[in-house]
Structure formats: C-alpha cells, structure tokens
Amino acid sequence: QVQLVESGGGSVQAGGSLRLSCAASGSIYVSTCMGWFRQAPGKEREGVAVLSRTGDSTYDADSVKGRFTISQDNAKNTVYLQMNSLKPEDTAMYYCAAGARRLGTSCSLYRGAYNLWGQGTQVTVSS
C-alpha cells in the first residue's frame, strides 16, 4: 500500500516562502496524477496544483498562479510545492494526493479524481 507523507509546513509572515514535500512510499505508476490540495477551516478542500508523473501535464489554480510552483523528483518519488509571496488567505491544511490518470486526459484539480491522500501539513500565514 503506497502512502503519501507531507512535510515542510509551518508559520510564516505574509510575503514569505515555504516549500512543501510529499514523499511516496512504494512505487507510483507512470500513469498517475499527483498534486496538492488545501482546506481552510470551514471551507471545502480545493485543488492548488497538480502534475503528471510524466511531466507533460500540469495545472495550477488561478489563486496561486505566479506564486506557487509544483515540481517532482521521480527518482525520489517526491513531489514539491514551492510557495512564494504567501498571503494570509493561503493559510490552510495542505494535502498531497495521487490518482490514476485516464488515458488521453490531462491532470485536473477535480478532487474526486484522487483516491490516495496524505495526512496533511499545516501552513499558517500571518499578516
């Protein structure tokens, strides 16, 4: 059973940066989408950024475009989320997720497409 373990969360001031890591134990199929979602108190979980294991498909939420960058190191089975210019509204629990990629489709931010989730790492941005 593959597990996803997030790390790198913490507390920063607005304008600061953090880098989240998601390490997958075990093998991840090539035909997999992986990404980051977040959930703030009282709000639904929303997609932040996703990418394909092959690297040919990436997608970022409008709210983080130009500030967050998703990347991966396949040799380490690790996905990263570099977060710059953080804002208080970025405060949330951040979750790593993985899901099968359907043939001929791109990776999306649709939460239902992901069936493997990490425990989450908290990011708090103060003003």
Q: What is the mean pLDDT of residues 79-108?
A: 94
Task: State yes or no: pLDDT of 123 exceeds 80.
Answer: yes
What is the pLDDT, as a whole number, of residue 55? 82
3-state secondary structure of 72: strand
Q: pLDDT of 53-93, one tens digit each?
A: 888 778 888 999 999 999 999 888 999 999 999 999 999 99
